[in-house]
Structure 1
């Protein structure tokens, strides 16, 4: 098992891994969860998959076991910034409610958004906990590399148990809300203590 942080500047070093990452996202979000998302050539993507983002992959060779995307809250591409903020501003016009946060979504160079977290349905149950731990460890390392001290995330309602198991310091920053296939809640993950 390996972990890799992909970016537009290094993707040429990893062969099919970047494309396989988006194929695994399609399988997880479009096929398994039946979400209505953009897709092409068997890959799921959206307007936030830009050179400003980073993608964390847990993989076995070119087979993606799990992944997630990190985007700076200072991101800007046309009318878009980052998913949670754009949902709050009503830019998305979709199933994510505008009142998902208690306060205004931040724009701060030390705050990044963590989204599109998935574990592939093909990942064996016996190693899922380890895969999830590697994903979190690499997410924190990537955040440290880009200077983030805080991550915002929209998580399933089981986030307190999951974060506690991974020893992540997080707090709810929005209400529990139904989105597509379940209850989700925005959280803030404090990385300041993990920066040393």
Structure 2
């Protein structure tokens, strides 16, 4: 499986991957989650799919997307600011160094092992992209257990920004995910991947640690791996 970084001005290089990612989002958010979001001919989209967005996609050997994440600079309109500002108690960011991560998820048709690999590739690719762009953190809205048992378990420090609320049946919160070379090293140690994105995929688009301790430093690595895999096996797709 390959990991791609795609923007509107590079869609022509990855046409099938691009279209299939909108179909994957339809399956994840409309069919599975039952969200009331825009869609057309089994493709999901929203008002934040603009030329400012960068898409991190994991694709199979047929260029079909099996994992997706969308990254948007907070200098442009973004989801948390527009839809859930009440989840953030501090001033909302507007900075080239803070981007929003959204539409994060993977194809539930995959087996548990492949889902684990896809999620690891997405998390690592987002860190690699962030480091090359001078990003210091991602802002995201996710179920609290996803922050703890998936994102944090891959070595990315998470900082909650406000109270949790019930969203789609889950306790959901806004938080920042730290981005740095040190965090990237932790993620690589967890995934075993030297590189998720090829250098050519690390597009220059702007100016240029979730910690295992969040699960408890005293949790044995094998038990921590078990918790991470169990969390991924029930991973819900997130905004």
Is the contact made by 1:33 and 1:181 (CA closer than 8 Å) also made in structure 2? no
Q: How does 1:74-153 map to 2 (within 5 A)?
A: 74-75=75-76, 81-88=77-84, 98-153=85-140
Q: Which has the higher Rg, Structure 1 or Structure 2?
A: 2
1:172 equivalent in structure 2: 160
Q: Counterparts of 2:22 and 2:169 in 1: how far apart (Å)?
A: 21
Is the contact made by 2:71 and 2:101 (CA closer than 8 Å) also made in structure 1? yes
Greater strand share, structure number:
1
> Which of structure 1's runs of 4+ aligned residues deviate more than 2 A?
144-147, 192-196
Change (3 A) 1:15 1:99: closer
Segments of 5+ residues of structure 2 without an aligned counterpart are 186-239
Q: Secondary structure at the match of 1:85?
A: helix
Question: RMSD between aligned alpha carbons?
Answer: 1.6
| 1:71 and 2:49 are equivalent in the alignment | no
Is the contact made by 1:11 and 1:18 (CA closer than 8 Å) also made in structure 2? yes
Q: How many residues align?
A: 182
Greater helix share, structure number:
2
The Cα shift of 1:27 comes to 0.3
Segments of 5+ residues of structure 1 without an aligned counterpart are 76-80, 89-97
1:52 equivalent in structure 2: 52
Normalised to the residue count of structure 1, the TM-score between the two structures is 0.87
1:154 equivalent in structure 2: 141
Q: How does 1:30-45 map to 2 (within 5 A)?
A: 30-45=30-45
Q: Secondary structure at the match of 2:15?
A: coil
The Cα shift of 1:10 comes to 1.1
